[in-house]
Structure 1
């Protein structure tokens, strides 16, 4: 039986320092499709992504497209042209674990599982980050609420049925998870993605954590996502694909 094809969708915006390493980690995996969706980068992101096109394993391919800036819009644009049976949404500064493709396929073979994600590991030795990782992974397991930096995956048919990511400037992953929880089980794979520690290093663990929690609280209180994104950027988090 032919393995389910996985489409990996990577929204990017000025990710020249990360995109090549992220794509290189995928080039030896078979039966995948990688779609890089650029939101108007002004650096060498697109050129570096194109440079990787000839390196992929047989039965795999990479596409580079453009879309209006905004992570939700870019991911929806990538999903619209994807040909895979499974969609996996990956941040440009995040590396998938070895044998991720097998883990994803096995997770979605369970009829009760509607979506999944990976445990989180942060690529930094800053004090406090190991505790952050434990809290994130515990939250993801207990409340079935992994976020976008944990590489969310689901069947393409499911993504179409729920209408894709809501067109929000922020919290699009949070809202997608809330919708999926109503439909079935969300699995947390016992393997970790490795995500960049750059935002933690830039502002510090305490300030980054407080900003994240304030954004979530503001969302629950009904503050508009546009205003929340404004605060997020004012807090120093400007590089969102």
Structure 2
């Protein structure tokens, strides 16, 4: 039913918990395979992938090309779940994902995809504020980021042309092509490192990232936006 594609680059420290959260889906027969599309890691990412039975694919260090390489390596599933290597799905996510897939297939309309609810593993008020702002962005603009995962059928992925080879923001570009009316927000959480989120916001590129998102909302061509973001 489902294959998970994870693009990696020196992610040995975070990959274990991400893969661990996928075990229940394997036990109930929903998850068929996990593909690790690696961009040239110099750590033990490949060792972890092979030890856990994942399909390991060597790919470009550009994230978009890694995602495409991962899709090409998928052998058995009609649905893809794209997941960051430091994103851990919450308990019982597999039941909600299976229910969503069943509803889409029963409807006969494959033009629907889903993302998870953005959460951070921090306990401070800043983490809750960031979660709230992410939820507001999703509701107002129908835009989700890669750290929320993406559940999409092979048919819809191919129909939309898949991930484009952009220097950045390839996930947001795909989400925009799905369209807000066809993008559904699951209640299960995608839990991400609060420290990494805070570090990213302290970087000079934070304002630039916000500008890029605004340009996408104004329908500026994604290749132009990606060049600015990169």
The two structures have a TM-score, normalised by structure 1, of 0.80
Tell me what 1:114 maps to.
112
Secondary structure at the residue paired with 2:113?
strand
Q: Which residue of 2 aligns with 1:233?
A: none
Q: CA deviation at 1:147?
A: 1.5
Residue 198 of structure 1 deviates from its aligned partner by 3.1
> For the residues of structure 2 that align with 1:203 and 1:38, how far apart are their CA atoms?
22
Instruction: Flag structure 2 segments of 5+ consecutive residues without an equivalent.
Output: none
Secondary structure class of the residue paired with 1:199: helix
Secondary structure of the 2:13 match is coil
Q: Which residue pairs with 2:148 in the alignment? A: 150
Counterpart mapping for 1:207-222 below 5 A: 210-217=207-214
CA RMSD of aligned residues (A): 2.4
Which aligned pairs between 1:135-214 and structure 2 lie closer than 5 A?
A: 135-181=133-179, 185-202=182-199, 210-214=207-211
Cα offsets for 1:205-238 (capped at 9, x unmatched): 6967535313424666664523421xxxxxxxxx
- Per-residue CA deviation, residues 120-152 of structure 1 (Å, 9 max, x unaligned), is 001223542211211211221343221111011
Aligned in 2, Cα 1:176/1:202: closer, same or farther, shift over 3 Å? same
**Cα offset for 1:105?**
2.4
Q: Which residue of 2 aligns with 1:68?
A: 60
Per-residue CA shift, 1:72-102, capped at 9, x if unaligned? 1111111112121110100000001222222
Aligned counterparts of 2:205 and 2:197: Cα–Cα separation in 1: 6
Give the Cα separation in 2 of the matches to 1:63 and 1:203: 30
Whether the 8 Å contact between 1:141 and 1:188 is mirrored in structure 2 is no
**Aligned to 1:24, which of 12, 20, 27?**
20
Query: What runs of 5+ residues in structure 1 fail to find an aligned partner?
Result: 54-61, 230-241
1:105 is aligned, of 83, 89, 98, to 98
TM-score, normalised on structure 2? 0.83
How many Å separate the matches in 1 of 2:83 and 2:148?
Answer: 8
